[in-house]
Amino acid sequence: MALVLFMIVTLMLQLQMKGCVGCLKTERMGLLQLKSYLKNGFKVEEEGMMKSWSHDDPSSDCCHWERVKCSDATGGHLVYLSLIGLTPANYELESQSLNLSLLHSFPRLQSLDLSFNKFSDLFDPINGTLNSNFFVTFNHVKSIQGAVLPSSLHVLDLAENQLSSSPKEICALMNLRELNLRSNALTNLPYCLANLSRLRTLDLSGNQMNGDLSSFVSGLPSALEYLSLFDNDFNGSFCFSSLANHTRLTVFMLSSKVGMIQAQAETSWFPPFQLKMLKLKNFNLGSTIPSFLAHQHDLRLIHITYSQLKVPFPGWLVQNNTRLESIILNNNLLTELRLPRLVHGLQYLDISSNRIYDSIPEDIGIVFPHLKFMNFSSNHNRGTIPSSMGEMKRLELLDMSSNRLYGQLPETFLRGCYSLVFLKLSNNQLQGKVFPRHANLTRLNSLILNGNRFDGSLGKGLLNSKTLELLDISDNSFSGPLPYWIGKMSNLSFLYMRGNKLKGQVPHQLQNLPLLVLDMSNNSFSGSIPRNLNVIYLSELRLHSNEFMGSVPSYLFKSEVLQVLDLRHNSLSGVILNTTIGKTSDLVALLLGNNSFQTHIPEKICQLSNVSLLDLSHNKFKGAIPSCLVKMSFGAQTNHYLFTPYYFGLGFEFVLSWSYKSAFDLVDTEAELGIQSSPETTVNFFSKSRYETYQGGILRDMYGLDLSSNQLSGEIPAEVWDLKNIRSLNFSSNRLTGSIPDSISKLENLESLDLSNNKLHGNIPPQLADLNNLGYFNVSYNNLSGEIPFKAHLMTFDEKSYRGNPHLCGRPTNKSCNLEGATETSASKRATEEEEEGDGVIDMVWFYWTCGAVYITTSLALFAFLCIDSRWSREWFYRVDVLVHHLQRFKDGFICN
Ligand SMILES: *[C@@H]1O[C@H](CO)[C@@H](O)[C@H](O)[C@H]1NC(C)=O
Ligand SMILES: *[C@@H]1O[C@H](CO)[C@@H](O)[C@H](O)[C@H]1NC(C)=O
Ligand SMILES: *[C@@H]1O[C@H](CO)[C@@H](O)[C@H](O)[C@H]1NC(C)=O
Ligand SMILES: *[C@@H]1O[C@H](CO)[C@@H](O)[C@H](O)[C@H]1NC(C)=O
Ligand SMILES: *[C@@H]1O[C@H](CO)[C@@H](O)[C@H](O)[C@H]1NC(C)=O
Ligand SMILES: *[C@@H]1O[C@H](CO)[C@@H](O)[C@H](O)[C@H]1NC(C)=O
Ligand SMILES: *[C@@H]1O[C@H](CO)[C@@H](O)[C@H](O)[C@H]1NC(C)=O
Ligand SMILES: *[C@@H]1O[C@H](CO)[C@@H](O)[C@H](O)[C@H]1NC(C)=O
Ligand SMILES: *[C@@H]1O[C@H](CO)[C@@H](O)[C@H](O)[C@H]1NC(C)=O
């Protein structure tokens, strides 16, 4: 009865709803139920989330609620529902599940967006239990009747979740046109998708799938236009002819992120499709270009990277495809740059990291006059820059770094390429003036010329590039003084000049620049350290290895943003700090070694509470080591934002890829550029008896104190042994007295300990042997005595670590400790020997384990360094992704129809 009544009511409502009257009551109820489920069970961010979904106003039309659309064509039914990005973007958040039963209220739904959530589980307690193991428990299929998801669905977006298998139910959605499962955790190839005969767009990128690719692809519905299998875990082979039945294919993307996909030899076949975009990566193509490409003439984007292509640059492919916009063939083995024999409209050319040793064809600028982006770096290419490149009037980004280019920059180039925003020519053998007056690079933002042979003083032609933000002329042969007009480059924020022959005083006009990084190291600058730099933004000041004299100006310590102050290897003297220090000093690396300081180490230095790398070595500091050093950070605080490169927009953007029309955001983001980062911060620090270079995450985790080669006296303050994060301690070559305390074992992370050339006495505490990370250890030339605790980790150090201590004995020195204890009976002696041998064996095992541990730690550290702690950036990009996605989806508004 109730059901009949309900149906009548619904019918009436539906009739009433001709036009754009309002939503159905059941659907309204359904939405409210969904909201309360999400609000309770789910840690949904409340603010701004589904605000308009409200109980309070019964007259409000749910078709006008956010995230929802209705359609008159379906009698006012809800046709679109978006639950995108419900969970806070919090990176750590655990996975979520979603009760699909709540979607039963929307029987005519055509488009459902569940992307950017952390769903690992979609379940439907009413029409069967589904979980992420669904594919594995294949047998459950029978127990589920009817579709769990509305069978009316055309578009289903499950991107950026944590589904480990695509629910079987998807394969029952016979109306599905578009399916997005990008960035989930799928491991098996979803063969059942073969049944979705209407499927047009399928994105399975960013999963962990592996399996028989060819049979999977050939089985997919022939209506397919867009197929992405990018970034999966494939390691088998693939045969391009398995695409032979996909007559409508326009976009095909395939790559492996763990191994190499092998191209399978194929019998001849004729592609029935004309691709617009092809993207392959980590695909061993057997050093040839897939033969079907000879039949393609409508390509817009070709991207084949890390695929061992060992052919000349395929000029014919560019020639065949007259509408080609982008060709990206970096990291292959291309042998030669063979250009097409006609003028072509190509805009984006990346052939970096290949083996094109021959010089660049003279006519490149005539063949590709429309290029906007050209990356030709790392080809070991000999030759000069062709003067025809001056024809590339639209060129915005040019990277030809790491080749063997020689000669001067052609005048045509400096005049003609006036659209250049980014120019990188580092690590070549180029020479001449930077820039002569005729240079007209008026839009230049970043100019990176380090590692060449440019010489003379900076030329006034550079002043035409008024918008320059980053200038790197390090490691060239520039000479003479720094011109005062540099102060007119009012955007210059990153200035790197290290390793030249520049000299003279620093012009005071430098104070006009909004500098973030100033690196003048390894030159012959003299005079005093600039007294008036603009320190509002300055985060790195590097003046080491020059001829600066006088004292360190105190304003530098008042800065709140300065992180690295490197003044090593100058002739500085005076009192370091005779001023009050800014409470919020951010200084992390204070490097004053190899100067002429002669005072006590001032207690005030301890107020620089964020310092974690302190180098005062090779001066004449005298008196005691202040015990307050323990107030400095040395790892007590960790700041994940430290030393992250600065990103800055270049003021242009490439959206070159032909983008496929779809409900999903399927733009190829790899072709979008226009952001550059500053070079990464590196710091050299003396540890393990040599200068080591630290950068990225490793730098953030490096804590060291170097007071070596001074005239310090007294005992090492006990507090020093409380610096439990410290990795490198160097007190060598001073006049320190006292003994090494047992509490040294607290310094678990210590990697380098140098106490040599002092006046320390007493025993070496056996606890030292527990410091498993120690890679360098030196106590030579002291007055230490007693038996060396030669066990565990200390067995890795030889006699050199101990020499010059006449009263030390035992291994590894060849001095026996048993001289006075000679009264023992021979039997007990033998027993001890046996015991010792036993110890020895265990210790060797220990030793191997430790070596292993150290090796693994080092590898992990290296790995960490390669990943450059991207957690925060990932979080950031995730948020940006969600936002972009949001905007794209909601831009059409919420009107009926
Ligand atoms: C899922 O939703 C259905 C329909 O609203 C409800 O009956 C069921 O109790 C829910 N189950 C869970 C576990 O939330
Ligand atoms: C649930 O299953 C029943 C049959 O058991 C079917 O009639 C009903 O349509 C299914 N519900 C949905 C939303 O598919
Ligand atoms: C396709 O559907 C048919 C019947 O609906 C079923 O028997 C078959 O197993 C399905 N194919 C795949 C690959 O799941
Ligand atoms: C591919 O990976 C699987 C599992 O990871 C492994 O069993 C198989 O041997 C690999 N195949 C090749 C060709 O490397
Ligand atoms: C293409 O379709 C034909 C006819 O349905 C079939 O015989 C052939 O095996 C299919 N080819 C591939 C590569 O799937
Ligand atoms: C493309 O170029 C190749 C090699 O020059 C040629 O064999 C082929 O016929 C061309 N294809 C088209 C469609 O022009
Ligand atoms: C040019 O290519 C190299 C190597 O493939 C890459 O490291 C570099 O970032 C690229 N340059 C630009 C400006 O994108
Ligand atoms: C210099 O560049 C501008 C564009 O930035 C251009 O309009 C002008 O013609 C160029 N001047 C010369 C002399 O080439
Ligand atoms: C700090 O030193 C500078 C120069 O070294 C000197 O002019 C100034 O008076 C000193 N300030 C104090 C408070 O001693």
Query: Does the structure show a pLDDT above 80 at 130?
Result: no
- Closest residue by CA, ligand 8 atom 4: 418
The two beta strands, 277-281 and 283-284, are unpaired
pTM over 0.85: no
Measure 469 CA to ligand 8 centroid, in angstroms. 20
Class of the CATH domain delimited by 517-645+681-817:
alpha beta
User: How would residue 200 be classed by pLDDT, with cut points 50, 70 and 90?
Assistant: very high
Q: Is 146 in the pocket of ligand 2 (CB under 6 A)?
A: yes
Distance, in Å, from the CA atom of 94 to the CA atom of 696, rounded to the nearest integer, reads 28
- Closest residue by CA, ligand 1 atom 8: 125
Query: Does the structure show a pLDDT above 70 at 847?
Result: no
Measure 144 CA to ligand 1 centroid, in angstroms. 16
Q: What is the average per-residue pLDDT within 395-415? A: 95
Q: What is the pLDDT of residue 221?
A: 95
Query: Does the structure show a pLDDT above 80 at 834?
Result: no
**How many CA atoms, within 13 angstroms, populate the side-chain half-sphere of residue 417?**
28
Q: Is 29 in the pocket of ligand 1 (CB under 6 A)?
A: no
Q: What is the average per-residue pLDDT within 436-460? A: 94
Query: Does the structure show a pLDDT above 90 at 560?
Result: no
For a substitution probing ligand 5, which of 197, 241, 245, 247 has the most ligand atoms within 8 Å of its CB? 245
Distance, in Å, from the CA atom of 611 to the CA atom of 587, rounded to the nearest integer, reads 6
- Closest residue by CA, ligand 9 atom 3: 578
Distance, in Å, from the CA atom of 799 to the CA atom of 876, rounded to the nearest integer, reads 52
User: How would residue 403 be classed by pLDDT, with cut points 50, 70 and 90?
Assistant: very high
Going from N- to C-terminal start, the domains of the chain cover 517-645+681-817
Beta-carbon contacts of residue 189 (< 8 Å; ≥ 6 apart): 209, 211, 212, 213, 216
Q: What is the pLDDT of residue 656?
A: 59
H helix count then E strand count, the chain: 9, 51
Lowest mean pLDDT among 137-151, 685-699, 725-739: 137-151
- Residue 129 CA, distance from chain mean position: 40
Q: What is the average per-residue pLDDT within 562-584? A: 84
Distance, in Å, from the CA atom of 322 to the CA atom of 298, rounded to the nearest integer, reads 7
Q: What is the pLDDT of residue 501?
A: 96
Looking at per-residue confidence, does 821 or 135 come out higher?
821
Looking at per-residue confidence, does 618 or 890 come out higher?
618
Q: What is the pLDDT of residue 288?
A: 87
Query: Does the structure show a pLDDT above 50 at 137?
Result: no
Beta bridge partners of 112: 81, 156
For a substitution probing ligand 9, which of 575, 580, 596, 604 has the most ligand atoms within 8 Å of its CB? 575
CB 896 within 8 A of CB 20: yes
Query: Does the structure show a pLDDT above 80 at 56?
Result: no
Q: Is 99 in the pocket of ligand 1 (CB under 6 A)?
A: yes
Q: Is 578 in the pocket of ligand 9 (CB under 6 A)?
A: yes
Q: Is 415 in the pocket of ligand 8 (CB under 6 A)?
A: yes
Residues with CB under 6 A from ligand 7: 330, 352-353, 375, 377-378, 397, 399
Q: List the beta strands (DSSP E) in 703-809.
A: 704-706, 711-715, 728-730, 735-737, 752-754, 761-762, 776-778, 783-787, 807-809
Query: Does the structure show a pLDDT above 80 at 285?
Result: yes
Looking at per-residue confidence, does 137 or 175 come out higher?
175
Length of the chain: 897
**Among 606, 603, 601, 602, CA closest to 621:** 601
- Rounded to the nearest integer, the mean pLDDT of the chain is 83
Q: What is the average per-residue pLDDT within 347-361? A: 93
Q: What is the average per-residue pLDDT within 688-696? A: 83
CA 438 to ligand 8: nearest atom: 13
CA 440 to ligand 8: nearest atom: 1
CA 245 to ligand 5: nearest atom: 1
Distance, in Å, from the CA atom of 319 to the CA atom of 26, rounded to the nearest integer, reads 59
Measure 572 CA to ligand 8 centroid, in angstroms. 47
- Closest residue by CA, ligand 2 atom 10: 146
Measure 127 CA to ligand 2 centroid, in angstroms. 6
Task: Dihedral sign for Cα 876, 881, 886, 887, please.
Answer: positive
- Closest residue by CA, ligand 6 atom 7: 294
Q: What is the average per-residue pLDDT within 124-129? A: 57
For a substitution probing ligand 6, which of 299, 320, 324, 341 has the most ligand atoms within 8 Å of its CB? 320
Distances (CA, A) of 827 to 822, 831, 832: 13, 6, 9
**Among 571, 524, 536, 525, CA closest to 552:** 571
- How many Cβ atoms from other residues are within 10 Å of residue 880's Cβ? 11
- Closest residue by CA, ligand 1 atom 9: 125
Query: Does the structure show a pLDDT above 50 at 837?
Result: no
Q: Give the highest mean pLDDT range of 10-14, 299-303, 633-637, 787-791.
A: 299-303
Query: Does the structure show a pLDDT above 70 at 46?
Result: no
Measure 261 CA to ligand 7 centroid, in angstroms. 24
User: How would residue 475 be classed by pLDDT, with cut points 50, 70 and 90?
Assistant: very high
Measure 270 CA to ligand 5 centroid, in angstroms. 13
Angle between helices 2-16 and 25-41 (to 10 degrees): 100
Ligand in closest contact with the CA of 418:
8
Measure 581 CA to ligand 9 centroid, in angstroms. 13
Q: What is the average per-residue pLDDT within 287-298? A: 92
Measure 339 CA to ligand 6 centroid, in angstroms. 15
Query: Does the structure show a pLDDT above 60 at 753?
Result: yes
Q: What is the pLDDT of residue 90?
A: 56
Measure 54 CA to ligand 1 centroid, in angstroms. 21
Looking at per-residue confidence, does 74 or 756 come out higher?
756
**Among 510, 531, 528, CA closest to 519:** 510
Q: What is the average per-residue pLDDT within 229-239? A: 94
Terminal Cα distance for the chain, rounded: 34
Q: What is the average per-residue pLDDT within 210-225? A: 94
User: How would residue 833 be classed by pLDDT, with cut points 50, 70 and 90?
Assistant: very low
Task: Dihedral sign for Cα 191, 192, 195, 198, please.
Answer: negative
Measure 321 CA to ligand 6 centroid, in angstroms. 9
pLDDT digits 0-9 by tens, 550-559: 999 988 888 8
b vs e for 192-228, b when ≥16 Cβ sit within 10 Å of the residue's Cβ? bbeebeebbbbbbbbbbbbebbbebbbbbbebbbbbb
Distance, in Å, from the CA atom of 108 to the CA atom of 202, rounded to the nearest integer, reads 22
Q: What is the average per-residue pLDDT within 786-790? A: 89
Query: Does the structure show a pLDDT above 80 at 835?
Result: no
Measure 595 CA to ligand 9 centroid, in angstroms. 19
Looking at per-residue confidence, does 176 or 23 come out higher?
176
- Closest residue by CA, ligand 9 atom 11: 578
Q: What is the average per-residue pLDDT within 231-254? A: 94
- Closest residue by CA, ligand 5 atom 6: 245
* 784-791 long-range contacts, CB within 8 A, separation 24+: 784/740, 784/760, 784/808, 785/761, 786/762, 786/817, 787/763, 787/817, 788/764, 788/812, 788/813, 789/764, 789/765, 791/766, 791/839, 791/843
CB 236 within 8 A of CB 261: yes
Distance, in Å, from the CA atom of 80 to the CA atom of 89, rounded to the nearest integer, reads 23
Beta bridge partners of 684: 693
Q: What is the pLDDT of residue 672?
A: 60
Measure 428 CA to ligand 2 centroid, in angstroms. 69
Tokens, residue 479: 């000479």
**Among 63, 59, 52, CA closest to 19:** 63
Query: Does the structure show a pLDDT above 70 at 277?
Result: yes
- Closest residue by CA, ligand 5 atom 1: 245
- Closest residue by CA, ligand 5 atom 14: 218
Q: Give the DSSP letter of residue 761.
A: E
pLDDT digits 0-9 by tens, 89-118: 554 556 677 778 888 889 899 999 988 887
> Cis ω on the peptide bond leading into residue 135 (within 30° of 0)?
no
For a substitution probing ligand 4, which of 235, 256, 264 has the most ligand atoms within 8 Å of its CB? 235
- Closest residue by CA, ligand 9 atom 6: 578
CA 195 to ligand 3: nearest atom: 1
Task: Report phi then psi at 526, rounded to 5.
Answer: -135, -170
Task: Count Cβ atoms within 10 A of the Cβ of residue 624 and give its class: 0-12 exposed, 13-18 middle, 19 or more buried.
Answer: middle
Which region holds residue 504: left if phi is over 0, alpha if psi is between -120 and 50, else beta? left
CA 673 to ligand 7: nearest atom: 14
pLDDT digits 0-9 by tens, 628-670: 888 888 877 766 677 777 777 776 666 556 677 888 877 665 5
